[in-house]
Amino acid sequence: MTRPEIAVLPVGGMGTRFLPATKSVAKELLPVVDRPLLQYAVDEARAAGISQFVLVTARGKASLADYFDVPGELVRLLEERGKARELAILAETQLPPGAVISTRQQQPLGLGHAVWCARHIVGRRPFAVLLPDEFLHDPAAPCLKQMVEAHARLGGNLVAVMEVPEDQTDRYGIVAPGATHGLVTEVKGLVEKPAPGTAPSRLAVIGRYILQPEVMDILGEGRRGAGGEIQLTDAMAELIGRQPFHALTFTGRRFDCGDKAGHVIANVAIALERPDIAPQLRAWLAANL
């Protein structure tokens, strides 16, 4: 099986839920403790062997590509002051030259359209898709790494899923399941945001995908789905039966950082794992809650 080595990150959203902060800061650069959401997604992808990244941005979001530039003046200042720890932090987040390519989604026509905007860069290769505001946390077994390992056995297309409450199925793409083997479930169908009580399962797609390039051909037809947008779920559904299609259940923690409460919860949860922060935070929580 051809291992995916390129990842598409759709990052063109305006982040209106986080106004006024997102007037000047892209939502993907909002930090969880001291690392931007974008950095967590890139770190997860690198752990899975991804070496090339396509940022699908929009007008006003050039800062996302700028984030990966070498901050020359800052590096020189830190070197002059002997700040070895800070230099190491910068070094571990730096990508090699040419590893990041940016392209524009010129109209907000949906997730499927954003992925399609990367078609010329992806070419005819299998590729990963990561949604950075879906923060999937498992340091011992990063989600995309698990998916790449499963893909090496299964081939075809693979999505990450988690079980959600029945009354929340209308927020997600939901899997119609076939046979299950351990954490892997055969995908018989995909339904975009089914009403509670009508969903074929509670397995919700959670923002990590490994897809074959044929999905770009379907997206290129420009058919609109829910909300009048070009839906990635609809295009993936057309591949079922034509190519192998599976779902991997992620057993780590998921934080919806596209939501204010989810973002705050993620900050608290990750801070409690940090030995440099956790004692002070626990003391404050114990005294105030």
Q: What is the pLDDT of residues 43-97, one digit of tens each?
A: 999 999 999 999 999 988 889 999 998 888 998 999 999 999 999 999 888 899 9
Domains of the chain, residue spans: 6-288
| CB-based burial label for 5 (10 Å; 0-12, 13-18, 19+) | middle
Q: What is the pLDDT of residues 124-154, one digit of tens each?
A: 999 999 999 999 999 999 999 999 999 999 9
Q: Rounded distance, CA 12 to CA 170, Å?
A: 23
For 174, what's the count of Cα atoms within 13 Å in the CB-facing half-sphere? 21
Q: For 253-261, what is the mean pLDDT?
A: 95
Which residues are CB-contacts of 80 (< 8 A; sequence separation ≥ 6)? none
User: What gap in Å lies between CA 209 and CA 131, rounded to an integer?
Assistant: 9
The H-or-E segment that residue 211 falls in is strand 203-211
What percent of the chain lies above the pLDDT cut of 90? Answer: 81
Burial of 217-235, coded b for 16+ CB within 10 Å and e otherwise, reads ebbeeeeebeeebbbbbbb
Query: Cα 270 vs. chain centroid, distance in angstroms?
Result: 17
The predicted-structure confidence for 4-14, as pLDDT tens digits, reads as follows: 999 999 999 88
CATH code assigned to 6-288: 3.90.550.10
**Total-model pTM:** 0.94
Nearest residue to 173 (alpha-carbon basis) of 249, 233, 254, 88: 233
In this structure, what are the phi and psi dihedrals at residue 282, rounded to the nearest 5 degrees? -60, -40
What's the pLDDT at 28? 96
pLDDT tens digit sequence for 177-234: 999 999 999 999 998 888 988 999 999 999 999 999 999 999 999 888 877 889 999 9
